[in-house]
Amino acid sequence: MYSRKVVIRYPADFAEKPIIYELVKRYDLLFNILKARIFPRREGVIVLELSGEKENFDDAICYLKELGLTVEPLSKSVSQNVNKCVHCGACTAFCPTGALSFDRETWKVLFDPERCNGCELCVTACSSRAMGVDLF
């Protein structure tokens, strides 16, 4: 089974269309909504973990792009600025997925973007503003 986290941005006229339903029905994908900002008649964004056969996943992403939606991997949207990070570890206490961890040998905060769900808790916990989430 193939699984990836993606960010889908869509224009206002797509807010009330059953896009996720189409991913399930047409492409036999499983989904987990990690985060969503959806409002009637406004642009929106949704962060999904999609799982299924690789070919179906690729076809579904092409379908979304053909509709005019912007689709990008979640790992492109979340980052750690290591130059700003003071490695205090405060963010690790708030990270629900373990994407942020503290290496006790090097005394450094490590970030694994593949485990990140884009919840933004690390951004509010980081006093040095080393964590950035560019989803919205």
Tell me the residue ranges of DSSP E strands in 11-136: 30-37, 44-52, 70-73, 78-80, 100-103, 108-111, 131-133
What domains lie within the chain, and their CATH numbers? 2-74 (3.30.70.260), 78-133 (3.30.70.20)
Residue 76: which pLDDT band, with cuts at 50, 70 and 90?
A: low
With contact defined as beta carbons under 8 Å apart, do 110 and 103 qualify?
yes
Q: What is the pTM of this model?
A: 0.63
Is the pLDDT at 75 greater than 70? The verdict is no
- Dist CA 32 CA 14 (whole Å): 19
- Dist CA 129 CA 121 (whole Å): 12
Residue 13: which pLDDT band, with cuts at 50, 70 and 90?
A: confident
User: Could you read off the pLDDT of 89-130 as tens digits, one per residue?
Assistant: 999 999 988 999 999 999 999 999 878 877 788 888 999 999
> 54-66 vs 19-27: helix axis angle to the nearest 10?
140
